[in-house]
Amino acid sequence: MSCTRRDLIKNACKGAAVASLPLSALKMLSPAEVKASVGDDKTRWVFLVDIQKCVGCGFCVKACKNENEIPLNAPVTRTWVERYVVTKDGKSHIDTPKGGRDGYTDGKIHGEEINPDEITKAFFVPKLCNQCEKPACVQVCPVGATYQTRDGVVLVDQSWCIGCGYCIMACPYGVRFFHPEHHVADKCTFCYHRITKGMKTACVDACPFGARQVGNLKDHDDPVTQTIMNQRVGILKDEYGTKPQVYYIGLDERVR
């Protein structure tokens, strides 16, 4: 095999170029290493709402606003309680005055008194961020300011959000809003600062009736997981394919 001077120099240059590549660019990770870098796979926060137990007191909304510094009188809230009253003529009367912040203290819906004899069913539905497995709001963020944590909670990076509002439009559940003081997108965090300290969310603590519960889906001894696995539970807007992680007991088809 002959090797001219030209070939030698060429090959030497190629060799130097390859050698100068950083080692990390060529490193192969084992599946275990990848898993470790992905992090905590022992936790998946989920929520369970028992519609039958809710009496519409609205303490959850009030507590959420105070806990998470959402201006009390601004027309925005991270969680809210809806009232559904179905009458014999098949109509649904739905309202959520101030998100249910002050509770439901009279029977008027949009100023209209409903005859109790006409009511076929009536109930309250607490709502909050569904912390979807496939969050549409995260997909649309153009700057990477909203994301899913390793334990399944969707958060907003307030220092990085540019306030474009795409995520607010993308959420099928309408849980996102524009924070009137920080001027960024805001949403329920499952009280991330509380659940990561072993506490319950502010709304769960505030609920006197146990209508709201938070739990870890990957802990099979967790009572919330037990209920979700063993009982009949529903989710909202399954057809959107976002795989919501707030489960409801006693859900009605009229609830959207």
Partner 1 sequence: MKNHVWRPLLVALAGVALLLTARAIIVPDDFGVNGESFTYNFYRAGSVDDWKGFKVKYRGKEYCRECHEEKVEENLASPHSVIQCENCHGPAVDHPENPELLPTESTRLLCLRCHATLPYPQSNRAEMPSVSPEEHNPDENCVECHNPHNPDLEAM
| Site residues for partner 1 per CB under 8 A | 38-39, 51-59, 62-63, 66-68, 85, 102-107, 116, 119, 121-124, 134-135, 138-139, 144-150, 155, 157-160, 189, 192-194, 196-197, 199, 202, 205-206, 208-210, 250
Q: Which CB, 4 or 37, lies closer to partner 1?
A: 37
Tell me how many degrees the CA angle 202-203-205 measures, rounded to the nearest 5: 65
In sequence order, the 6+-apart residues with CB closer than 8 A to the CB of 13 are none
Q: What is the 3-state secondary structure (H, E, C) of 182-235?
A: CCCEECCCCCHHHHCCCCCCHHHHHCCCCCEEEEECCCCCCHHHHHHHHCCCEC
Q: Shortest approach of partner 1 to residue 226 CB, angstroms?
A: 22
Q: Shortest approach of partner 1 to residue 4 CB, angstroms?
A: 28
Q: Which residue has the tokens 């920080």?
A: 182
Q: Shortest approach of partner 1 to residue 160 CB, angstroms?
A: 6
Q: Shortest approach of partner 1 to residue 7 CB, angstroms?
A: 27
- Tokens standing for residue 244: 């919501």
Q: Which CB, 11 or 120, lies closer to partner 1?
A: 120
Q: Which CB, 14 or 150, lies closer to partner 1?
A: 150
The enclosing H or E element of 87 equals strand 80-87
